[in-house]
Structure 1
Amino acid sequence: MLELYWGLLITGVLFAIVTVIFGDLLSNALDGMLDFLSGEHLHAFQPMVLLSAITVCGGAGILLTRYTSMGTYAVLMMAILVSLVVAVLVYFLYIKPMENSENSLAYSMKELVGKIAEVSVPIPAQGYGEVVVKVGAGNTNHIAASFEHVDIQTGAKVVTVEVVDGTLYVACLDKQV
């Protein structure tokens, strides 16, 4: 059984080293063919959780075999129990908090439909101006045209009606054109 524990420990350590050193290189070289191994759809069975459990099972098995007088099956059961505890801890103390901390600043132009904006450069009836839209925690400027083909002055509150080829078509909210 000691050979099995050493195999598990060495496999886990080698996989960790290869992943850290060559993970991105392999992914880029294989054009993302191995991306399905990331385990994003199997939250509790991500590679980090599984490999940490395998590595700990091997290490615990070696230590329990050498430093206790427990029998073979008792050592195996204790090693599996310890690895399960570590896997649960890794998941809830590392993986889960990291998933919750991921935030994106990106937005789609389609998301701007229905957003309220303020005109920063006047929009002529048959031309383009500029609006400032609050997106997430910041503001962004976009080219805008009048949806109703009327002049819209600076400072007017508008709503985005549609987005066509990166241009926001807006309508006045406060009918003071």
Structure 2
Amino acid sequence: MLEAYWMCLIGGVLFALVSIIFGDVLGDIFDGLFDILSFEHLDFLQPMVLVGGITTFGGAGVMLSRYTVMEPIPVALLSLMIAIALSIVVYFAYVKPMKNSENSIGFSMKDLVGKIGEVSVPIPVGGYGEVILKVGAGNTNQIAATLDQADIPAGTRVVVGETKDGILYVFPYDKEEM
């Protein structure tokens, strides 16, 4: 049984090393290959969780076999329980929070139409200024011009009316109208 534990431990360590060294290359090669097998409701079957559990099973088995006087079946059961417990910890402490934190900071200029922002550089009639808008978890500064043919001073809240050629056309935000 000790050989099986060593195989699990060495296999897991090799998988980790290959993932660290060649992870991006292998990810590009096999991109989409496993989409057929994906189970949305079984998201705990992540490679990190599975291989981590197998590696832990092997390591715990080696340690328990060598440094305790336990029989092989209790060693296997205890190794399995340790592997399951550590896999659960890895899933809830690392994999699930990382999955929930995957956000894109990309946006389209057309997505900004209707957003409320604040003028950071005054917008003169016939000229350009700058507007700060909240997009996702961050802010973006964009070049802006006025739609109302009136100067808009810095600090004024504005609404994006349209976008053309990368320029936001804005008008002052008036709460009373809404």
TM-score interval, normalised by the smaller of the two chains: 0.7 to 0.9
The 5-angstrom pairing of residues 78-97 of structure 1 reads 78-97=78-97
2:3 aligned partner = 3
Paired amino acid for 1:8: C
Aligned 1:11-90 pairs, distance under 5 A? 11-28=11-28, 30=29, 32-33=31-32, 43-90=43-90
Corresponding residue SS for 1:171: strand
Using the TM superposition, name which of 56-65 and 96-105 deviates more.
96-105
Q: TM-score, normalised by structure 2?
A: 0.73
Q: Percent identity?
A: 42
Amino acid at match of 1:169: Y
What residue ranges of structure 2 are gaps of 5+ in the alignment? none
Q: Secondary structure at the match of 1:121?
A: coil
CA apart distance, 1:104: 5.2
Q: Match of 1:86, as an amino acid?
A: L
Task: Output the CA distance in 2 between the equivalents of 1:67 and 1:172.
Answer: 74
Structure 1 runs not aligned, ≥5 long: none
Match of 1:120 among 122, 125, 149: 122
Q: 1:56 to 1:90 in 2, by over 3 A?
A: same
| Offset at residue 22 of structure 1 (A) | 1.3
Structure 1 vs Structure 2 CA RMSD? 3.2
Question: 1:4-31, CA deviations, whole angstroms, 9 ceiling, x for partnerless residues?
Answer: 1111111100000111111123334x27
CA displacement at 1:44 relative to structure 2:
2.5
Conserved 8 A contact 1:163-1:169: yes
2:132 match: 133
Cα distance in 1 for partners of 2:33, 2:20 equals 15
Cα deviations by residue, 1:114-164 (Å, 9 ceiling, x for unpaired) = 22232623243xxx6334123254450224352xxx412031543112334
Cα 1:139/1:27, change in 2 over 3 Å: closer
How many positions carry a matched residue from both structures? 166
